[in-house]
Chain A
């Protein structure tokens, strides 16, 4: 009895630590967004905002805000960049996700299910491109993009994101496809062509794996900061993370920064949440049974 109690207490403790560890920074950001400017610079920082208000969330989208005491908060000067960044991020992340899936699904399927000449060498090439730290290609890409006129374009940013997501997601999905039951012969008996087998049998069967791949590529492109800073910052193609970083410089605005961070978390969290439920409901079941 006592042992069970201890184990229960231990479990609760470790879960609490994990939850606090992950949620505290997010709470801190939210709290800062709700602070009045005075509270934001107070030391030690209060645990709870004393006069919480939503001014920052209005300001970053270019709206003024008057709180209960009649204090007026001006719209942020960077509001157009934030809105533009949100749109750009959505476009870039969606494009990266779609293109990644279109390329990777047939690619990973071929690697997972067929043997062909040069397969090992090609697999090693993919592994190698996963292993290269993205930062090491930053300068070469920058020089190349200047020459090609791709700096400051969403198209260029999509290409750079794809160089990371395509090999990574391929590597991730190969094992998944390999473990699917051998339905190709079944499909052949039922009169499916090779392409028909992929489109009408394998892809529906692999929904859960493909959903994971979609989440991974969307979140990568949505969160990508380093390349975006180099290639599109300060242009019309700037994505949300780079636009948000603007609140750190010149005149620091912790409230506005925190509010826009929250805005950037929400769509990503929704995508992950929606697809995660999708995955759980499908169940990553034993492929044979």
Chain B
């Protein structure tokens, strides 16, 4: 049971700032996911929590105690690395034993700890094998056993599922969440996969270009994105955007795009920035409809492709402004490529962003 606090954490490599001034606090027992594209600073942040990197500025605190100057093994953290890295020349058992080198346990205690960890993860029949003889999923479980056997105060995971196929990833996701909830160990998980983040995290930290864009529960991140970046990064298919200049006409806000003009719903007024500046209107694909053009607001376009997903179709429309928009439709809707259509959306479910990234 450990709380993690990052105070004014900053990391500079040469002339590049990998992580900007970051202040975050995570409650004990939470599953925290750092989410962002590659190079956004999420792994650097994790490395500072683990103790692999020394922060240029700022403090890392576990339960209020600063661990900033402690080496990794003295922080009592356990880590699962990319592709569930293990020592390739050692058996699964020897790999797990390595975690207890400094635990100062008696031989009996060591044995008991290892057998409870390996039984918990159902890897007790694999202990004599070397990593090269294990399947991807087995290797993941052995790596997790190696992590939990230490009974760490914090779990750290650096994209452990990145090398696995989709089906295995799905089942391991649920297993890991179950494990984390059972043990109640504060966990920091780094990923670039928004589905992993949404399905596993209690708290998601969305990072971009070394900055924290938004922190919140999966629901907050999904339904109340702070920035255009967060809105575009979360959700599949991704949110549609109309880029245009914000203006006012006929008593309503409107967005003047390249070749069209969209009247904005009144409720977006408090999200609007300065008139005459670039804004983005965002609508998720499930909140868009293909209409006859009579309904307002309306964006004209032409069908570019249709993807069939079984329970729904994704119609990709090229708008008159040159962008593409994705619309979810019923699987039985008949629509063909090249058809002229008009898109309309639910004004209650639209977003307006005045900045691409948060103001610094």
Contacts and interface: CB of A to CB of B under 8 A. Distances in A.
Interface residues of B, number: 23
A90 interface: no
Contact of B101 (A182, A183, A185, A190): A190
A185 B89 contact: no
Given A186-B81, A191-B101, A205 B72 contact: no
B81 A191 contact: no
Given A188-B72, A189-B72, A190-B98, A181 B85 contact: yes
A207 interface: yes
A121 to B, nearest CB: 19
Interface stretch (A45-53, A91-99, A232-240, A281-289): A281-289
B88 A181 contact: yes
Contact of B87 (A186, A191, A207): A186
Interface string A110-132: 00000000000000000000000
A204 B52 contact: no
A189 B78 contact: yes
Contacts of A204: 89
Contact of B85 (A182, A191, A205, A285): A182
Contact of A186 (B77, B85, B89, B101): B85
Contacts of B51: 188
Contact of B73 (A181, A188, A205, A289): A188
Contacts of A286: 132
A216 interface: no
A283 B83 CA distance: 21
Interface in A232-289: 285-289
B71 A188 contact: yes
Contacts of A191: 71-74, 101-102
A201 interface: yes
Residue of A190, A205, A288 most packed against chain B (CB within 10 A):
A190
B79 A183 contact: no
B50 interface: yes
Residue of A186, A207, A288 most packed against chain B (CB within 10 A):
A186
A188 B132 contact: no
Contacts of A287: 88
Contacts of A185: 50, 52, 72, 79, 81, 85
A204 B94 CA distance: 13
Interface string B66-95: 000001111001110101011111000000
B87 to A, nearest CB: 6
B115 interface: no
Contacts of A182: 81, 85
Contact of A189 (B79, B86, B88): B79
B52 A188 contact: yes
Nearest to B97: A190
Interface in A198-217: 201, 204-205, 207
Contacts of A201: 87
Contacts of A181: 85, 88
B131 interface: yes
Contacts of B79: 185-186, 189
Given A189-B50, A189-B73, A285 B88 contact: yes
A258 B37 CA distance: 69
B102 A205 contact: no
A185 B47 CA distance: 10
Interface string B165-183: 0000000000000000000
B102 A183 contact: no
Given A185-B79, A289-B131, A289-B132, A190 B85 contact: no
Contacts of B354: none
B99 interface: yes
Contacts of A190: 73, 98-99, 101-102
Contacts of B85: 181-183, 185-186
A207 B74 CA distance: 30
B140 to A, nearest CB: 13
Nearest to A180: B88
B138 to A, nearest CB: 12
Nearest to A183: B87
A285 B132 contact: yes
A188 B87 CA distance: 12
Contacts of B102: 190-191
Nearest to B83: A288
A213 B209 CA distance: 44
Contacts of B83: 288
Nearest to B79: A189
Contacts of B74: 191
22 contacts: A182-B81, A182-B85, A183-B88, A185-B50, A185-B52, A185-B81, A186-B79, A186-B86, A186-B87, A188-B73, A189-B50, A189-B73, A189-B77, A189-B78, A191-B71, A191-B72, A204-B89, A205-B88, A205-B89, A207-B89, A285-B132, A288-B88
Interface of A: 181-183, 185-186, 188-191, 201, 204-205, 207, 285-289
Given A189-B79, A190-B102, A285-B132, 20 more contacts: A181-B85, A182-B81, A182-B85, A183-B85, A185-B81, A186-B81, A186-B86, A188-B71, A188-B72, A188-B73, A189-B50, A189-B72, A189-B73, A190-B98, A190-B99, A190-B101, A191-B73, A205-B87, A205-B89, A286-B132
> What 4 A-B pairs are tightest by C-beta distance, nearest first?
A191-B73, A191-B102, A205-B89, A190-B98
